[in-house]
Amino acid sequence: GVILYQMLTGGRFPYEVGGAMRDVLDNILRAEPSRPSTVRRQIDDELETIVLKCLSKERERRYQNAGDLGRDLDRYLSGEPIEAKRDSGWYVFRKTVRRHRPAALGAAALLAMLVLFSVPMPISRQSEARAADDATDARIRADDAADAARAAQAAEAAQRQRAEALIAGLVDSSRIFFEFDDQPANLRGSYDARVSLLNGMSHMLGEVEPFVGDAGADPRFLHLVGETHRRVGNLYKALYGNGERARTGIEAAIAIHDRVLAISGGDIEARHGRALARMSLAELELSQLRLDEARSLCEAAAADFEVASSTTDAGMRQAIDDDAHEALVTYARVLARYANGMPFDQRDEAIHHLDRARAELGDAELYWKGRAAADGDNQRATRLLSIAREEQNLLSITFGRVHHQWGRSVEDDEIARRCFDLAVRRFQEAVEFNGTAASMFEGLLVDDTRNALLARDHAFALLYEGEALVWLSLSIEERAARLGEERPLEELLALREQALPLFQEAAEITAGLERVNDADIRTGRDVALCLNKLGNQQRVFGWENSRLDTLREALETFESSLARRQSLWDDDHLPQNGHDLAVGLFKVAEVMLMLAERDPEADAGALTAAACDLLGRSALRFAEAGGHGYPVSPALRLITRYRTEAGCDGGPEPEIDGQDAGEPGVDH
């Protein structure tokens, strides 16, 4: 419509296009177009009607396609009634008479004879002159209309070419994006490159968005747009936290796949794509502790995977099965987290969720073990086998933590005793389970000494074995306190001493992996985590046993962990790196305050001042992490308490929004 308007008016726009961009867009969306006859008086009412129909704000009142416009222009050129004015009866009558001009002229001649040539000859000459003028105007209109038709056809061709170019560009860009997104997620220093890639793909999606709503859009194009939306949403989550832009992208992917399935319920690719998008949204909900929503999404995704796996295409079926078994790990995490927050009166349901999680992880481990054995170069299979094993190690501890939590919360002492007894038994099983796993990985490493994933599995089995020992000691201690029994100090000390070398060995293994591959963000994170676990035990052991040397070791351990986390944050401002840095700052400050109180050789004032500074910085980082969706309120409350007890002056006091009050404080 705009192109036709410009051709008829010498390049004028139908709207006011000067001024601010917002005003221009408002004019295009809401203002009525100027009539072309006000610019060029030779434009008649019919041609103007055609132009204004092209520019109508209401979709149903416009020509539905360039073909309809071309046919109406043909009617205009041949003198037939145009569709744009079909609702005017008098207009149709006039055009019909004009179209059958010979018969009309004959009738006029007969009328003239009946009035005995009463009209003077000068009028006849004037009529001839008007007829000549009409013929000239008709030729001009015909030329203009022909030009307009050609312009409409050219515009349609240009629009089609632009759409094809954009779609082709999306195909190429998405391929690069998918390959790049799969590779550098854990590459240190890739933050800026990934931000640039994200911005570029977001812009590309904006460009193709008008074609997504086309009723005739190719399903293959819609699949591609949907998958790109999902990955863009995932990247928003990784780079900026659990914000609404991540949710918007993932939900857009689900909506696109829903649309394709509404048209063709048997579209396997759309079913597969929707399953993946639902799992991405489930992970987002899990990170925000929206556990009901996360569980529902996982179960809906599982149903989609099952339907999609019925495809007869072997290659596609393998890809779907791979994705479905990766999703099992996320589902198990959701179930475990769900059970961990359930009260004692829902214990049967909680245990059912934990048993289901264990079964899902067992299926995942078996599947990925088979895939890795069939193809030794399948890095995805090797990685997911490692993750499934690690989650099983962690789940063994979760069984004990659930019973431990019930022992703390119930009012009846006898029920509390039974809960703590079950917790002790579960933690003993977790110690044995992780110890067996550590021995297995150690044996596998004898024949494959350079296998970094096996070495990492070994380190984390040791880490979780130590963690289970710590929880075992806590359950024994709290059971005695709850029942009014004497604390078994020797047993507790023995368990703590047994855990320390396990944490130490895990830290040494991960530090070795970091030296081999310090370009991977995960190696630095793994070392920092293991050092924090080691430092926690050194701190508790040193404080409870008045061992200043062990407290000083804890400070050195935490400072080493903090240095790594600071370096990771400096390289990549990822939300997780910021959260981890907040934890590291807090850990160092906590031990400084302990040494300021207990160490007679320390400068208590200097240590307290340094600790106050670190606590302030930690609070700011935690508050920032809270903005990215991390549960941080307990940590902020703990920091506020420490600052108050230490007499810290001024400093930031981030708001505590009251969320996640049931979460633990500063841990990892």
Residues facing 187 on adjacent strands: 520
pLDDT class for 279, splitting at 50, 70, 90? very high
Point out the least confidently predicted range of 190-194, 351-355, 509-513: 190-194
Tell me the per-residue pLDDT of 578-631, one tens digit each, with 9 for 90 and over.
999 999 999 999 999 999 999 999 999 999 999 999 999 999 999 998 877 777
Predicted TM-score of the model (pTM): 0.70
Residues facing 520 on adjacent strands: 187
Which residue stretches of 288-313 are H helix?
A: 291-308
Q: Is the sign of the CA dihedral 94, 96, 98, 101 positive or negative?
A: negative
Q: What mean pLDDT is reported for the chain?
A: 84
Residues 13, 6: contact at Cβ < 8 Å? yes
3-state secondary structure 533-550: HHHHHHHHHHHHCCCHHH
Residues 241, 224: contact at Cβ < 8 Å? no
Q: What is the mean pLDDT of residues 327-347?
A: 94
Q: What angle do CA 270, 273, 275 make, to 5 degrees?
A: 110
Point out the least confidently predicted range of 16-20, 143-147, 585-589: 16-20
Q: What is the mean pLDDT of residues 653-667?
A: 42
Q: What angle do CA 460, 464, 468 make, to 5 degrees?
A: 170
Tokens of 608: 């307290």
Query: What's residue 405's pLDDT?
Result: 95
> 176 Cβ partners below 8 Å, 6+ apart?
none
SS3 187: strand
Domain positions in the chain: 2-164, 183-311, 329-516, 534-668
- Looking at the predicted structure, is the pLDDT value of residue 376 above 90? no
Query: What's residue 98's pLDDT?
Result: 60
Give the CB-side neighbour count of residue 276, counting CA atoms within 13 A: 25
Query: What's residue 111's pLDDT?
Result: 46
Phi then psi for residue 81, to 5 deg, are -65, 135
Q: What is the mean pLDDT of residues 356-360?
A: 97
Round to whole Å and give the CA distance between 560 and 535.
10
Phi then psi for residue 520, to 5 deg, are -95, 120
What CATH class does 183-311 carry?
mainly alpha
> For the domain 2-164, what is the CATH code?
1.10.510
What single string gives the DSSP state of each residue in 320-348? HHHHHHHHHHHHHHHHHHHHHT--GGGHH
Query: What's residue 253's pLDDT?
Result: 94
Nearest C-alpha neighbor of 657 from the set 640, 635, 633, 634: 633
Give the CB-side neighbour count of residue 386, counting CA atoms within 13 A: 17
Round to whole Å and give the CA distance between 631 and 286.
11
> 89 Cβ partners below 8 Å, 6+ apart?
none
Point out the least confidently predicted range of 20-34, 323-337, 527-541: 20-34
pLDDT class for 448, splitting at 50, 70, 90? confident
- Looking at the predicted structure, is the pLDDT value of residue 498 above 50? yes
- Looking at the predicted structure, is the pLDDT value of residue 173 above 70? no
Q: What's at 428, amino acid-wise?
A: Q
Phi then psi for residue 187, to 5 deg, are -85, 120
Query: What's residue 39's pLDDT?
Result: 82
Query: What's residue 539's pLDDT?
Result: 95
